[in-house]
Structure formats: C-alpha cells, structure tokens
Amino acid sequence: MTLWWIGNALLLLVVLPVVVYLLKGVLDAARSIEPSVRRIADSADAGSKDLDAVPLLLTTRDQVRQTVEVVANYGGSLDVIVDDAS
C-alpha cells in the first residue's frame, strides 16, 4: 500500500509536470513557427509581385539592341570621318 502511495505521488508530482512541460514546449515551438511561415509567405507574395515587371525586360532588351545599333552606325560614321590616331 505504501508503495502504491509512493507511485501515486510520483505520478502527480513528477510524471504529470514533466509531461505537461514537454508538451507545452512542443506546442510553443509549433506556435512560434507559424508567424515565421506567415512572414515567409508574405515575402514570397511580395517578391512575386515585384517580378511582375520582368516582362519589361523584353522591352529593355529591344531598346538596348536598337541603341547599340545606333551607336554602331554612329561609330562607323566617325570611323570614316575622323582620322586615326596613328
């Protein structure tokens, strides 16, 4: 009978607090992940919206191509007009 009471005491004073402590730790960790995941999701959405301007790169590419062509024509004309250094 005495051993039973000792077992009861261990259950109530040791096992139950340890179980509660461990489970609370797991729950706190899980809950702390959630805001971080939310922030990641928000950042991904913002990054995705920032990349909406990517198609404009096609316009930039075309304009750069045209600009370089103009520069090439201009340089070719200068090459003809202006004497070389040596």
Partner 1 sequence: MPAAGVVTIIAVVLIVLALVYYLVSTIVALRQITAGLDDAIRGVKGIIEKSAPVEEVVKDINGNLDAGVDLLEGLLVKKAGLVDAVGLVEGLYPGAAAEGLRNFPESKTVTPPRISEVYTKGTLTLARLGREAPIAAASPSGPVLRNVEGGSLAARSLYPENRQSRPEKLPRSPVIGTGAPVQYPPSEQRGGTTPDEAEIREKGPWSETAAEGIVPRDLGGSDAPREMLAEDPELGSPALGQTTGSEEPATESGIDPSAGDEADATSDAGPESPEGAEPDLKDAAAGPRQVDADSADTRNDT
Q: Per CB under 8 A, does 16 bind partner 1? A: yes
The token duo for 76 is: 């070719």
From CA 80, how far away is CA 74, in angstroms rounded?
10
Task: Pull the structure tokens for residue 80.
Answer: 């003809």
Q: Give the separation between CA 1 and CA 18, rounded to whole angstroms.
A: 25
Q: Shortest approach of partner 1 to residue 4 CB, angstroms?
A: 4
Tell the smallest beta-carbon distance from residue 69 to partner 1 (Å): 9
- Selection from 66, 63, 65, 69 nearest residue 77 by Cα: 69
Which residues sit at the interface with partner 1, rule CB under 8 A?
1, 4-5, 7-8, 11-12, 15-16, 19-20, 23-24, 26-27, 30-31, 33-34, 37-38, 40-41, 43-48, 51-52, 54, 57-58, 60-61, 64-65, 67-68, 71-72, 75, 78-79, 81-86
